[in-house]
Amino acid sequence: HHYWVHLDGAGVAAMEPLLLPGKKLTPVQLTGVKMQEYFEMLLGQMEHSTVDSMVTTGLALHEMLALCARSILAEAETTSARQVILQAAETLRKNYQKELSLADLLADAHMSKSYFLRLFRRYMGTTPYNYLVNFRITQAKELLVLTDHSVGEIAQKVGFGDASNFSTRFAKATGQSPLQYRKSALKPQEGTR
């Protein structure tokens, strides 16, 4: 079944900028059966013409509007939060060579630490620190294969403080030391000469 209702009045006009951005109809995705219940109640009330049924109808229509508005606001909030996290990840990638702190990311995010960490894990699949370390290791792999820089030089270039810390993190992530990785990556593949 398809249900359709046309609403007008002061309450609707107040919600117009939210429900009709740019004066264009915007589809609103609603889950659950609440909206269907309101429509069925409205259809049932149409047979009555009492003051009580008119008040009930008016309340149901406003509840329907409120459901649409809450859905639009929740979607906008989710999109906005996702953008904040994507921007934080971009900041980590652009500044991976520098010393970064969670406070640096939070200053741009304008949200609490716990909420930011929860959102970062939801959208990026890991913590900001692990994201940064993994990105640094990816960059280090490239440098190990494409340059002849020492492990210490590469550690500095990718933002690790020292070669020891870098080697430990690299081995934990890849299962090989940086030098073993370089050797295995540069070794000719079997069967090729």
Segment 45-101, tens digit of pLDDT:
777 778 887 788 878 887 888 888 777 777 777 778 888 999 999 999 999 999 888
Domain-terminating residue out of 100, 119, 150: 100
Please, are residues 60 and 38 in contact by the beta-carbon 8 Å criterion? yes
Average pLDDT, the chain: 84
In a domain, 34, yes or no: yes
In a domain, 2, yes or no: no
Looking at the fold, whether 71 and 136 belong to one and the same domain comes out as: no
The CATH code of the domain that includes 146 is 1.10.10.60
In a domain, 105, yes or no: no
User: The whole model's pTM is what?
Assistant: 0.62
Domain-terminating residue out of 57, 83, 100: 100
Looking at the fold, whether 96 and 34 belong to one and the same domain comes out as: yes
- Look up tokens 């406070």; give the residue: 103
In a domain, 5, yes or no: no
Domain count, the chain: 2
In a domain, 112, yes or no: no
Looking at the fold, whether 91 and 151 belong to one and the same domain comes out as: no
pLDDT at 188: 67
23-43 pLDDT, tens digit each: 776 677 676 678 788 888 888
- Nearest alpha-carbon partner for 184 in 141, 155, 134: 141
Domain that holds residue 135: 128-186
Looking at the fold, whether 82 and 138 belong to one and the same domain comes out as: no
Looking at the fold, whether 90 and 168 belong to one and the same domain comes out as: no
In a domain, 59, yes or no: yes
Retrieve residue 67's tokens.
């459901």
Q: What stretches of the chain show up as alpha helix (H) in DSSP?
A: 10-19, 34-45, 51-94, 102-109, 113-124, 128-146, 151-157, 163-174, 178-186
Residue 192 has pLDDT above 60, yes or no: no
Looking at the fold, whether 14 and 53 belong to one and the same domain comes out as: yes
